Structure 1
Amino acid sequence: MSSGGALPLPPWRTRVTEALSAISDAVWVLDHDDRFTWVNPAAARLLARPAADLVGHRVWDVLPDLAGSELVTAHRHARDTRRPQDVEVFASSLDRWLGGRVHGAPGGELVVVVRDVHARRTLDDERAAESSLTRAVLDALPARTAVLDADGTILTTNRAWDDAAGRAGQPFLGRVGEDYLALCRAAAAAGDRDARSAVDGLEAVFARRAPSFALDYARAVPGRRPAEPTWWYVQAFPVDDRPRVVVTHTDVTDRVTAEQQAAWQARHDHLTSLPNRAALHEAITDALAEDEGGRVTVLFMDVDGFKQVNDSLGHAAGDLLLRELASRLAHRTRPTDVVGRLGGDEFVVVARDCDAEGGVALARRFHGVFDEPFELAGVRLPLTVSIGIATSDSAHAGPDDLLRDADAAMYAAKAEGRNRDLVFTPALRGELEDRRQIAGRLRDAASGGEFSVHWQPVLHLGTGEVAGCEALLRWDHPQRGPVLPAAFVPVAEEHGLIVPITRWMLRVALAQGRAWADDGLRLTIGVNVSAVHLTSGSLVDDVLEALEESGLRAQDLLVELTEAGVARDPRQAAEQLAALRAHGVRVAIDDFGTGRSSLAVVASLPVDLLKVDRALIAGPLPDRAAPEAVLGAVVALGTTLGMRVLAEGVETAEQVELARRVGCTYAQGHRVSAPLDAAVLGALLVQGRRLTGRQVLPP
């Protein structure tokens, strides 16, 4: 027997088999029945069986999983044609890919040369899978994608690219094999600026001067209006170390349209579509840049009585009114003027080439806008407008200056009786400067010890005892002396200072209330809150934080808001007041009867106490409405709504008796007591309790 396993062979075959025994490929010889007659050592190793165990056995018994494979066909064709047959099969019993060549020999014998191709075949399969995955990924991309060779030739494209190539209105696209750079250069030579940018960007990426390139471009689409192009975002970046580049074109029409819409919305009022504050600032800035002196005028308009429209007809009707007013104003302006809305019922007109006299003439024209009543919900509303006028000069360095002065002139016009127009003057500027100085000092008034709190007792008319007291803020200005709240509270509201001042007030007042409670005095502490604080959204948190810090019971705190302040936004007021009451805090409407809010608004609010303004008690009234009848009507309203009533500003014994007679629960005013220092009030109450055993002020 030769070196491989075999049956006895003639000498010439012995020499052949000895040669085959030395090669690394597996070789075996099969008879006409596919039985092993000889096997070289490499084949024995491949089949993991000694050669002697293989000889005489059919190959299909050794490799049964190949019995139905392409190897069977190769055997048959090799015998029939005597031509070598190449085949690759996977032998699951060996867990290998085998590559073989089958040679036909006389007598039906076969010589089979087999090589282990598992590593190569696995690599081929991995590459094929990777290529298939790459193709699938490319085709799944919505962006039109192509891979370019170093010379700009298109090597491959995805389905989105192929579908679009050749369509009208689809530039910068080509087919596989075409020169993409040449297509772009041709478009650039025809005057296409986007194509020129694309050529420059692509060349920079190919030359590695830039890591990538990107460009937004627009193209008109046949059948669409020119104003409705499609927008595309082209990107180019290297794909590997070789100078190949991936180019993508993504349809970004929706994104660009959204950006354009957002940019428009950022500069226009959503309700009226007029330019908003930002756009007006730009318009004034541009006009001032071209102004040759005193030729830019800003008119600031505020609708008189607009709040009553909202209160009586609702916000939807108010919105309709604003849209109608915007349309009327736009039709009354000159082509070079810009009319915009700042918010609420405030409109601004920027007039170029217009001095103060021209501004007054324009104001007269805008007053005419209101000559024709507005019709809303079947109701004809006669409205008027107050207009402030400011004209550019050396004191107006920017849009804020002109808007500020026009605003000041408008408020001055409104204060003079409404339905007026007023030109800003240096005197008004002096008043503004005074207000700014007050604001500047207010910022540090609390920390500087300039604030103090006085307390005005509240009398329970049924028991005669002091049921509570209202905390009244006082400011002792270091230069001006005492400053009335009416002079500094509006300034604090305008400059965003009222909220921190109220927080200070809450801490001080509630701490004093707790101190009195510790001394055995049970008083309801009333603290006034601004409508600005109400709209800030922090009122509830600020009140609860002050309560927690002081330890005062929530039911011993009465938060007071004016009727006018609540009417600014009844819905928001109701939400925050309800939240306070849910924590036990009581709520009062202050100065009731002067705010002109509708009864429906008052009835909808979660309120415990109505504080009737002194004007309904001591002020002049028509002959047909005696004070007792008016006050009695308010008490009846409060009773119906489950609210108690307090008479404010009682100055005489007769007024106290009137309040008691019509059913008011409480009274407050100088007849009861003037505002007192905390120490004085506390001492008086202790004295009254010692003398009478009740919480009263001594006689």
Structure 2
Amino acid sequence: MPGEPVLIRGSVTDISERQRYQREIERLAFSDELTGLPNRRLMLDRLQHAMDREQRENTLGALLFIDLDHFKTVNDSLGHLVGDGLLREVTTRLASGLRAEDTLARMGGDEFVVLLEGLDSNPQLAAEAAAITAEKLLKSLVGTCWIDGHELSISASIGIALHPFGSQVAADVLKQADTAMYRAKQGGRNALHFFAPEMQAAIDQRLQMQSELRQAVQRNQLYLVFQPQLALATERIAGAEVLLRWVHPERGEVMPGDFILLAEETGLIEELGAWVLEQACAALARWLPQWPQLVLAVNLSPRELRQRGCVARISECLQRHQVPATALELEITEGVLLEDVEQCISNMQELKVLGVRFAIDDFGTGYSSLTYLKRLPLDRLKIDRSFTWDMDGEDGSGLMLVQTILVIARNLGLECVAEGIETQWQLDSLREHGCSLGQGYHFSRPLREADFQAWMQQHQL
């Protein structure tokens, strides 16, 4: 009847405990209990999904199979507790060298796998990216650590297989990376090896050049050249850009484009940069008594500029050679705007206080943000040679682009230096539109020290 109470019977079951058990079962099924990393089952699942996606998007990834060197000796001699501690330490070191989107898994024992997804559509570029990560991981592992009072040495061997590259099955790619890892061990351990022979040949060549470049300083194979920079209004010399050259005993002259990027990727750029700065300051010390207004422009890589000891290193070099900071100009690329911008700006500001000048090189070819450019303590913008060469194009767009850069520089209160001036028309046009300085073959090729000194005698400051 309406208005009468209704009796409802039911039961309530608390399923929170059941859900907890379910989550625990899933964790045990897909995670490694010791390290908390994804296990073999989950890794193969992620690898297959990655390969399917890469197949659709026409890109390549890589699988890195990592096996510790001599781990069995640790377990047998010091026990499993020490071995487990070493595995946790290795997990921490490997994870620190990876991007957030990379997957690190433990396959069991002392075997780890790293999944790198969507590296590049070009096999060679994908292989190079994988090799760079593998080298970084090897470097992070090499050394010693203390586990339960025992000092242990760590190193590893890494096998690399690209995917999808000849196989569409995750288990096959894992076997390929495993096979490559054993080849790395057979080659002497603490090394990396590609499953694909053509990839390995390219990487072997890259590693050989890296080793030779490391020895180039000690073996006196490097030298500097100087390309004059002139004031366009008077065509009198104002300074020079310092450029690095490498004469290999077998390869002959190695172009900077063939080794500078390698030096940046491997960290050798810091050693090379220190050598170049030392030689440039020594040259300034010899020339300034005769040409007191001379300014030498030295390239400084983003990697060097991000270092916290950058300011002290440059300051000490200037003091050691008794060279005023105003005689040094540091050329940076727009790459400084991509990572750790605040540290770069801080270092630049400290150097600016000392009197060091700054120019941004190859302006317009990188990733410039005008907001950041306003914050950088710059003195000059350098117009990339490609823009200078396009100035006389039929559609006039090249000249318009150069004019735009000159306007930007003027509004920011900066001088402009045009690279790649090769014709009288380019010189006249740049001068007409207010470009202050220039360099290029129209004036002079880069010169060895003695030739540059003779050239300065003819083109007084």
Q: 1:455 aligns with which of 215, 226, 235?
A: 226
Q: 2:316 aligns with which of 513, 530, 545?
A: 545
Q: In the TM superposition, what whole-angstrom CA distance separates every residue of 1:376-401 from its partner, at most 9, and x where no partner exists?
A: xxxxxxxxxxxxx9674342449x99
Q: 1:529 aligns with which of 300, 303, 312?
A: 300
Query: Aligned partners of 2:179 and 2:91: how far apart in 1?
Result: 28
Query: Aligned partners of 1:581 and 1:536: how far apart in 2?
Result: 16
Q: In the TM superposition, what whole-angstrom CA distance separates every residue of 1:179-215 from its partner, at most 9, and x where no partner exists?
A: xxxxxxxxxxxxxxxxxxxxxxxxxxxxxxxxxxxxx
Query: Aligned partners of 2:165 and 2:206: how far apart in 1?
Result: 29
Quickly say closer, same or farther: Cα 1:473–1:515, change in 2 above 3 A: same
Would you say the 8 A contact 2:242–2:298 is kept in 1? yes
Query: Aligned partners of 1:501 and 1:272: how far apart in 2?
Result: 27
**Residue 275 of structure 1, CA deviation:** 7.2
Q: In the TM superposition, what whole-angstrom CA distance separates every residue of 1:34-66 from its partner, at most 9, and x where no partner exists?
A: xxxxxxxxxxxxxxxxxxxxxxxxxxxxxxxxx
Q: In the TM superposition, what whole-angstrom CA distance separates every residue of 1:295-323 from its partner, at most 9, and x where no partner exists?
A: x895454489xxxxxxxxxxxxxxxxxxx
Q: Give secondary structure in 1 for the equivalent of 2:216.
A: coil
Instruction: Answer 1 or 2: which has greater helix percent.
Output: 2
Q: 2:377 aligns with which of 587, 594, 606?
A: 606
Equivalent position amino acid for 1:459 in 2: L
Quickly say closer, same or farther: Cα 1:283–1:498, change in 2 above 3 A: farther
**Residue 671 of structure 1, CA deviation:** 0.9
Q: In the TM superposition, what are the counterparts of 1:201-600 in structure 2 within 5 Å?
A: 279-280=104-105, 282-283=106-107, 299-302=116-119, 361=168, 392-393=179-180, 394-397=182-185, 425-520=196-291, 522-600=293-371
Would you say the 8 A contact 1:609–1:645 is kept in 2? yes
Q: Give secondary structure in 1 for the equivalent of 2:442.
A: coil
Query: Aligned partners of 2:95 and 2:295: how far apart in 1?
Result: 48
Quickly say closer, same or farther: Cα 1:355–1:632, change in 2 above 3 A: closer
Q: In the TM superposition, what are the counterparts of 1:23-172 in structure 2 within 5 Å?
A: none
Equivalent position amino acid for 1:616 in 2: F
Q: In the TM superposition, what whole-angstrom CA distance separates every residue of 1:5-53 from its partner, at most 9, and x where no partner exists?
A: xxxxxxxxxxxxxxxxxxxxxxxxxxxxxxxxxxxxxxxxxxxxxxxxx
Query: Aligned partners of 2:282 and 2:454: how far apart in 1?
Result: 17
**Residue 536 of structure 1, CA deviation:** 2.8
Quickly say closer, same or farther: Cα 1:667–1:405, change in 2 above 3 A: farther
Quickly say closer, same or farther: Cα 1:683–1:621, change in 2 above 3 A: closer
**Residue 427 of structure 1, CA deviation:** 2.2
Query: Aligned partners of 1:612 and 1:621: how far apart in 2?
Result: 15
Q: In the TM superposition, what whole-angstrom CA distance separates every residue of 1:522-573 from its partner, at most 9, and x where no partner exists?
A: 3101101112212233321221111011111101100011123443333222
**Residue 608 of structure 1, CA deviation:** 0.7
Q: 2:439 aligns with which of 629, 647, 668?
A: 668
Q: Which residue of 1 aligns with 2:173?
A: none
Quickly say closer, same or farther: Cα 1:355–1:434, change in 2 above 3 A: closer
Q: Give secondary structure in 2 for the equivalent of 1:520.
A: coil
Query: Aligned partners of 1:678 and 1:646: how far apart in 2?
Result: 22
Q: 1:630 aligns with which of 390, 393, 401?
A: 401
Q: In the TM superposition, what whole-angstrom CA distance separates every residue of 1:246-276 from its partner, at most 9, and x where no partner exists?
A: xxxxxxxxxxxxxxx9999777679997777
Quickly say closer, same or farther: Cα 1:510–1:358, change in 2 above 3 A: closer
Q: In the TM superposition, what whole-angstrom CA distance separates every residue of 1:463-501 from its partner, at most 9, and x where no partner exists?
A: 221000011111111111111111111222233221111
Query: Aligned partners of 1:284 and 1:479: how far apart in 2?
Result: 46
Q: 2:424 aligns with which of 653, 657, 671?
A: 653
Query: Aligned partners of 1:608 and 1:274: how far apart in 2?
Result: 39
Would you say the 8 A contact 2:329–2:356 is kept in 1? yes
Quickly say closer, same or farther: Cα 1:297–1:550, change in 2 above 3 A: closer
**Residue 588 of structure 1, CA deviation:** 0.7
Q: Give secondary structure in 2 for the equivalent of 1:615.
A: helix
Query: Aligned partners of 2:312 and 2:114: how far apart in 1?
Result: 44
| Structure 2 unaligned spans of 5+ | 1-19, 25-87, 122-135, 138-160, 171-175
Q: In the TM superposition, what whole-angstrom CA distance separates every residue of 1:314-353 from its partner, at most 9, and x where no partner exists?
A: xxxxxxxxxxxxxxxxxxxxxxxxxxxx99xxxxxxxxxx
Quickly say closer, same or farther: Cα 1:500–1:402, change in 2 above 3 A: closer
Query: Aligned partners of 1:497 and 1:666: how far apart in 2?
Result: 32
| Structure 1 unaligned spans of 5+ | 1-224, 228-260, 289-295, 305-341, 344-353, 364-388, 407-423, 689-693
Equivalent position amino acid for 1:607 in 2: L
Quickly say closer, same or farther: Cα 1:482–1:641, change in 2 above 3 A: same
Query: Aligned partners of 1:439 and 1:271: how far apart in 2?
Result: 22
Q: In the TM superposition, what are the counterparts of 1:170-209 in structure 2 within 5 Å?
A: none
Higher relative contact order (CA 8 A, sep 6+): 2
Query: Aligned partners of 2:162 and 2:367: how far apart in 1?
Result: 38
Report the TM-score, using the length of structure 1 for normalisation: 0.43
Query: Aligned partners of 1:651 and 1:442: how far apart in 2?
Result: 32
Q: Give secondary structure in 1 for the equivalent of 2:284.
A: helix
Would you say the 8 A contact 2:391–2:402 is kept in 1? no
Query: Aligned partners of 2:446 and 2:218: how far apart in 1?
Result: 23
Aligned-residue identity in percent: 30
Q: Give secondary structure in 2 for the equivalent of 1:597.
A: coil
Quickly say closer, same or farther: Cα 1:664–1:298, change in 2 above 3 A: same
Query: Aligned partners of 1:486 and 1:511: how far apart in 2?
Result: 25
| RMSD, aligned α-carbons | 3.9
Number of positions where the alignment pairs a residue of Structure 1 with one of Structure 2: 335
Query: Aligned partners of 1:446 and 1:355: how far apart in 2?
Result: 35
After alignment, is 566-575 or 502-511 more displaced? Answer: 566-575
Report the TM-score, using the length of structure 2 for normalisation: 0.63
Query: Aligned partners of 2:231 and 2:91: how far apart in 1?
Result: 59
Query: Aligned partners of 1:448 and 1:270: how far apart in 2?
Result: 32
Quickly say closer, same or farther: Cα 1:515–1:397, change in 2 above 3 A: same
Quickly say closer, same or farther: Cα 1:360–1:449, change in 2 above 3 A: same
Would you say the 8 A contact 1:646–1:666 is kept in 2? yes
Q: Which residue of 2 aligns with 1:131?
A: none
Query: Aligned partners of 1:574 and 1:658: how far apart in 2?
Result: 34
Query: Aligned partners of 2:287 and 2:315: how far apart in 1?
Result: 19
After alignment, is 449-458 or 678-687 more displaced? Answer: 678-687
